[in-house]
Structure 1
Amino acid sequence: MMSRFLLSTCAALAFSVSACAAEAPQDSATVAPTASVTTTADVSAPDSAWRTVDPENLMLIDTEYGMIGVELFPEIAPKHVEQIKTLTRQNFYDFITFHRVIEGFMNQTGDPKGDGTGDSDLPDIEGEFTFRRSPSMPIELIGAQPVDPRSPSKGEVGVGFYKGLPVASQPASQAILTKDGKVDAFAIHCKGVTSMARSQNPNSGNSQFFLMRDTASHLDTQYSIWGNTVMGRNLLTKIKVGNAGEGGFVPDAMKTVRIAADLPEGERPTVQVMKVDSAAFDQFMATQKKADGKYPEICDIAVPTRTL
């Protein structure tokens, strides 16, 4: 079977894709938030400024370094979230290794063979590289970027946060011009985002996925983002770097993977994300501005989270 995620570079059209790039970026960096005991940033905010992640959409990955919590977004990638939940509830991901880990890029896992060629027995799923954003999915905008990061001449879209997930979207004002009252949008491959690995076939997502260690904008609209790290973000860069089968590399593994709702209430963490439409978030964003008064690139900002 063809290895997942080992593809050559190709061009892509805005909001319309076929085969795509999946190579490690030449040079990328992101600014990690300041760690503290209960939050991912040095912030102080009232309880009303925090949103509790639904346990049904919280994936808990236990590693030797600690617990990583990923918020799932069925409203953005429903088929992928359903597949991930199904496999998780089958205990499929238990003890599976991070078989391909690239510094400054991503941690890839989900292969029962451990060499990049394996999948689950479930059918492959269609790519969900973009989504249709309705008025019920507000975005806190912080700037703009090219529609296609490879082709700046194609124009710009607004970038911001949806529930803490970095996204790019056409203006909401254009919704009145569409038949379904929605606009095109896509999530952005920033550090902490979780996305589905695939072969050159855009509709070949199955069980392998990757957690971003850093920014990789060349993957945007090419791979299906379905989640975002909301707990244990600092652990993403602790996973050992290397490729299975090369140079005696012994990869780290996921111990157990569970959906929080399936655990007894007393055994599941309460994970909260700062509401991006709150005054507290506005105050936090003010602290992120650079000397020229502008915001950093969206991937250099991590929406604060906390675990109770």
Structure 2
Amino acid sequence: MSIRGWGTFRNVLVVIAFMLLVAGCGAKGNAVTLSDGKSDNGPIKAVSWDRMPQMSIDLDKQYKAKIATSKGEFVVELYAKAAPVTVNNFVFLSNEGFYEGLKFHSIIESFMIQTGDPKGNGTGNAGYRIPDELSSESVYEEGTVAMFNTGAPNSGSSQFFICTGPEASNLNRQPNYTIFGKVVSGMDTVRLIASSPVENGSPIEDIIIESVNIETV
């Protein structure tokens, strides 16, 4: 689901076969890839794992994510100390290239833009769930980055949204979505994405994440 209906389907590949790959670098679980056995750009990236990643971020460091999209770039400061599990998950998925090529599948200009679904229709995830981290003192306001969940506790995975307008403040009445960052530069790009023409909450034009690069300070 997407935040408005918390809801096309991305054309993945013509012939789909499942391959189990053992993820390296410390027990990240079995990675499942979708592949037709051919790729002009090397191995097909993993799109699903059977468990959430082990903690690998350094809480003494500050993390930022530079996100390049087909509409421009923006930078998110990640709240590693306030939401360590969620930030660790986001950093893992970003470093695995999970977000590259994914769409902003849901847009409500006065509320939010949402992405991170490998299916592209609001129903996908990374194959596992992560616990909520709802003790943050941060609030939902323009630029706030939060983890989407299904409405059930501890159901976040890969989808996230960025608050873009005054309606986002309504979430402060019952903060059920883990806040794990905020846009610190490039908010003009976020607003440009938010102003894209939509039909039934989905943008008419495909707006794609081209890359997510994690930087540490």
**TM-score of the superposition, structure 2-length normalised?**
0.66
Task: Report whether the alignment pairs 1:250 with 2:183.
Answer: no
Is the 2:71–2:207 Cα contact (8 Å) retained in structure 1? no
- Correspondence for 1:217 among 157, 169, 172: 169
- Correspondence for 1:128 among 123, 126, 133: 133
- Local SS of the residue matching 2:113: strand
Task: Report whether the alignment pairs 1:196 with 2:147.
Answer: yes
Task: Compute the displacement of 1:66 (Å).
Answer: 2.0
Is the 2:66–2:76 Cα contact (8 Å) retained in structure 1? yes
Task: Report whether the alignment pairs 1:64 with 2:20.
Answer: no
Task: Report whether the alignment pairs 1:226 with 2:180.
Answer: yes
Task: Compute the displacement of 1:55 (Å).
Answer: 8.2
Task: Compute the displacement of 1:93 (Å).
Answer: 0.3
CA separation of 1:66/1:55 partners in 2, compared to 1, >3 Å: closer, same or farther? farther
Residue ranges of structure 2 left out of the alignment (5+ in a row): 7-59
Task: Compute the displacement of 1:7 (Å).
Answer: 6.6
Identity score, percent: 33
Is the 2:2–2:106 Cα contact (8 Å) retained in structure 1? no
Write the distance in 2 (CA, Å) between the matches of 1:201 and 1:125: 12
Write the distance in 2 (CA, Å) between the matches of 1:111 and 1:259: 19
CA separation of 1:7/1:113 partners in 2, compared to 1, >3 Å: closer, same or farther? closer
**Bigger Rg, which one:** 1
Is the 1:115–1:244 Cα contact (8 Å) retained in structure 2? no
- Local SS of the residue matching 1:85: helix
The alignment's C-alpha RMSD in Å is 2.4
Task: Report whether the alignment pairs 1:85 with 2:91.
Answer: yes
CA separation of 1:244/1:111 partners in 2, compared to 1, >3 Å: closer, same or farther? farther
Write the distance in 2 (CA, Å) between the matches of 1:226 and 1:188: 11
- Local SS of the residue matching 1:58: strand
Q: What code does the residue aligned with 1:5 have?
A: I
CA separation of 1:76/1:56 partners in 2, compared to 1, >3 Å: closer, same or farther? closer
Task: Report whether the alignment pairs 1:104 with 2:94.
Answer: no
Higher RCO (Cα < 8 Å, 6 or more apart): 1
Number of the residue aligned with 2:27 = none
Task: Compute the displacement of 1:229 (Å).
Answer: 0.4
Write the distance in 1 (CA, Å) between the matches of 2:3 and 2:86: 16
Q: What code does the residue aligned with 2:78 have?
A: L
Task: Compute the displacement of 1:56 (Å).
Answer: 5.2
Write the distance in 1 (CA, Å) between the matches of 2:183 and 2:104: 16
Write the distance in 2 (CA, Å) between the matches of 1:203 and 1:244: 28
Write the distance in 2 (CA, Å) between the matches of 1:63 and 1:245: 19
Residue ranges of structure 1 left out of the alignment (5+ in a row): 9-53, 132-185, 262-269, 271-308
Write the distance in 2 (CA, Å) between the matches of 1:258 and 1:192: 18
Number of the residue aligned with 2:3 = 5
CA separation of 1:62/1:193 partners in 2, compared to 1, >3 Å: closer, same or farther? same
